[in-house]
Amino acid sequence: MNMVDIITKKRDGEELTPEEIRFFIENYVKDRIPDYQASALLMAIYFRGLSRAETFALTEAMEFSGDVEDLSDLPGVKVDKHSTGGVGDKTTLVVAPVAAAAGVTVAKMSGRGLGFTGGTADKLEAIPGFRTRLEPAEFHRQLEELGLAVITQTGSITPADKKIYALRDVTGTVESPGLIASSIMSKKLAAGSDGIVLDVKCGSGALLKDLAEAENMADLMIDIGRKAGRKMVAVISDMSQPLGRAVGNALEVEEAVQVLKGGGPEDLRQLCLELAGEMIWIGGRAESFEEGKETARQVLSDGRALEKFRQMVRRQGGDDRIIEEPERMGSSRYSRDVLAGRTGFIAETDTREIGRASQHLGAGRLRKEDEIDFTAGIRMHVRIGDFVKEGDVLATLYGADSRRLEEAETILEAAIRISAEPAAPPKLIQKIIQ
Ligand code: URA
């Protein structure tokens, strides 16, 4: 077996065997296949696609390319949650403590920001002192004693995905359904939970632009998970505008805490109840999804979820005083309002561009080695469907560099379209697949 034959076979539209896929993964991880051959194969896959059988084989080869977590010694059903990535998506900060407060063990490995999308690990690190890296023994102990830990993925899990993702990022091969599904599911399967709730985002601020694409992706990931013996649920949710009002790390932690206190923006609260309800149900702490959602509502309103969040923050070294005093996460040197250029209805937002503006302000990385400015970001003041008058404030920008604030203002002005015609607000929960 050799790489040239494998590349040529895929280029000509033939199906690769599981052995050929394993050959590629095992040798690429060991640096025995050069990046130019791996890139050629990825581009052939991008154009020819992957069959279900190829996607299963690729997921499995990547899952076992490094260590896999064994959580079987922990009692009960362990549940994980994954979002395909969006702008202002801080749901993990809410749903993980809500599900844990309801008795589900939540062992969550989270990623960092990727391009225009934010990452939960970066958000948590906006809390002074918070450690997202725990040794395996400490991770296990915390799960045993608290039922909740949110950490970054350790370097030894799915090294194949890490290497291939970095290559896809720079070779124009990210947007391929089979590659996305196998990348996400290999990490989730290796992380060891028994159940996985997927939040598949769809719209201008997501990798998947329309409902049909999102449904295909959800169906594919559910199929992969069930074949591996996991309980799977997917929620397809709208990402045609940022979720909630805050975009940027410290701003998002503050907003998540508002929801944990029983307030916060309605869309964020609604999606969190949906996802947490599913987690509680597949985690065996409710007879039905409806009962799971009701339990989620209860632990939010009686303060148990907030208390769980506080315990996790303390346990992972963070300063829990940020719950009462969010200003302890710092504040930006500059702020700037983005004003409406005309009177009318908010018709559309280019959410990817809003994410890009936030990244430009310092909330995300432009290069891998960049430091994040945790206080940078955007507060949105309008939603699709709102009526605004010329001069009203559409958004407020925060950052440490006044020139970048001006540039971000230009991006935002172009990203928020105002129309004379009334516009209907998008439906937040587009579909649930149980
Ligand atoms: N998130 C991932 O982890 N992998 C992808 O390929 C896309 C989004």
The reply to whether 414 and 382 lie within a common domain is yes
Question: Which residue owns the Cα nearest ligand 1 atom 5?
Answer: 180
Interface predicted TM-score (ipTM) over 0.90? yes
The reply to whether 312 and 354 lie within a common domain is no
Domain assignment of residue 277, yes or no: yes
The reply to whether 123 and 240 lie within a common domain is yes
Closest by Cα among 125, 172, 173 to 318: 125
Domain assignment of residue 65, yes or no: no
The reply to whether 101 and 17 lie within a common domain is no
What pLDDT does residue 224 have?
97
CA distance 133 to 310: 18
Domain assignment of residue 220, yes or no: yes
Atom from ligand 1 closest to the CA of residue 180: 6
Average pLDDT, the chain: 94
Task: Check: CB of residue 286 under 8 Å from CB of residue 280.
Answer: yes
Give the Å distance between the CA of 183 and the centre of ligand 1. Answer: 6
The mean pLDDT value for 158-176 works out to 87
Active-site residue list: 82, 161, 168, 183, 187
The reply to whether 162 and 241 lie within a common domain is yes
Token duo for residue 381:
């003041």
% the chain with pLDDT above 90:
85
Question: Which residue owns the Cα nearest ligand 1 atom 3?
Answer: 184
Give the Å distance between the CA of 213 and the centre of ligand 1. Answer: 15
Residue whose pair of structure tokens reads 């432009």 in the numeric block: 366
CA distance 219 to 298: 31
Question: Which residue owns the Cα nearest ligand 1 atom 2?
Answer: 184
Atom from ligand 1 closest to the CA of residue 165: 6
Residue 110 bridge partners (DSSP): 152
Final residue of a domain: which of 323, 350, 384? Answer: 323
Handedness of CA 139, 88, 224, 64 (dihedral sign): negative
Give the Å distance between the CA of 294 and the centre of ligand 1. Answer: 31
The reply to whether 396 and 367 lie within a common domain is yes
- 87: number of Cβ within 10 Å: 30
Final residue of a domain: which of 49, 69, 86? Answer: 49
pLDDT digits (tens, 9 = 90+) for 69-111: 889 999 889 999 999 989 999 999 999 999 999 999 999 988 7
pLDDT digits (tens, 9 = 90+) for 351-395: 999 999 999 999 987 766 678 899 999 999 999 999 999 999 999
Q: Phi/psi of residue 89, each to 5°?
A: -85, 95
Q: Which of 184, 185, 208, 221 to mutate to test the pocket of ligand 1 (most atoms within 8 A of CB)?
A: 184
Domain assignment of residue 63, yes or no: no
pLDDT digits (tens, 9 = 90+) for 177-205: 999 999 999 999 999 899 999 999 999 99
CATH of the domain at 13: 1.20.970.10
The reply to whether 42 and 120 lie within a common domain is no
CA distance 421 to 419: 5
Atom from ligand 1 closest to the CA of residue 111: 3
Measuring CA to CA, how many Å separate 378 from each of 47, 321, 397?
A: 37, 23, 5
Give the Å distance between the CA of 184 and the centre of ligand 1. Answer: 5
pLDDT digits (tens, 9 = 90+) for 302-316: 999 999 999 999 999
CATH of the domain at 395: 3.90.1170.30
Question: Which residue owns the Cα nearest ligand 1 atom 7?
Answer: 180
Give the Å distance between the CA of 57 and the centre of ligand 1. Answer: 17
Residues flanking ligand 1, CB < 6 Å: 84-85, 165, 179-180, 183-184
Give the Å distance between the CA of 181 and the centre of ligand 1. Answer: 7
Q: Phi/psi of residue 233, each to 5°?
A: -140, 145
Domain assignment of residue 428, yes or no: no
Question: Which residue owns the Cα nearest ligand 1 atom 6?
Answer: 180
Atom from ligand 1 closest to the CA of residue 184: 3
Final residue of a domain: which of 293, 323, 353? Answer: 323
Q: Any residues with CB less than 8 A from the CB of 201 and at least 6 apart, and which?
A: 83, 84, 85, 86, 89, 207, 208, 214, 236, 237, 238, 239
Closest by Cα among 156, 158, 170 to 114: 170
The reply to whether 118 and 248 lie within a common domain is yes
The mean pLDDT value for 112-116 works out to 73
The predicted model scores a pTM of 0.92
Q: Phi/psi of residue 73, each to 5°?
A: -75, -15
What pLDDT does residue 114 have?
67
The reply to whether 97 and 32 lie within a common domain is no
Cβ-count burial 257-288 (b if 16+ within 10 Å, e if not): bbbbbeebbebbbebbbbbbbbbbbbbbbbee
Domain assignment of residue 44, yes or no: yes
**Number of domains the chain is built from:** 3
CA distance 315 to 308: 10
Domain assignment of residue 66, yes or no: no
Give the Å distance between the CA of 83 and the centre of ligand 1. Answer: 9
Give the least confident one: 23-37, 86-100, 156-170, 409-423.
Answer: 156-170
The reply to whether 316 and 358 lie within a common domain is no
The reply to whether 234 and 300 lie within a common domain is yes
Domain limits at 12? 3-49
Domain assignment of residue 101, yes or no: yes
The reply to whether 239 and 351 lie within a common domain is no
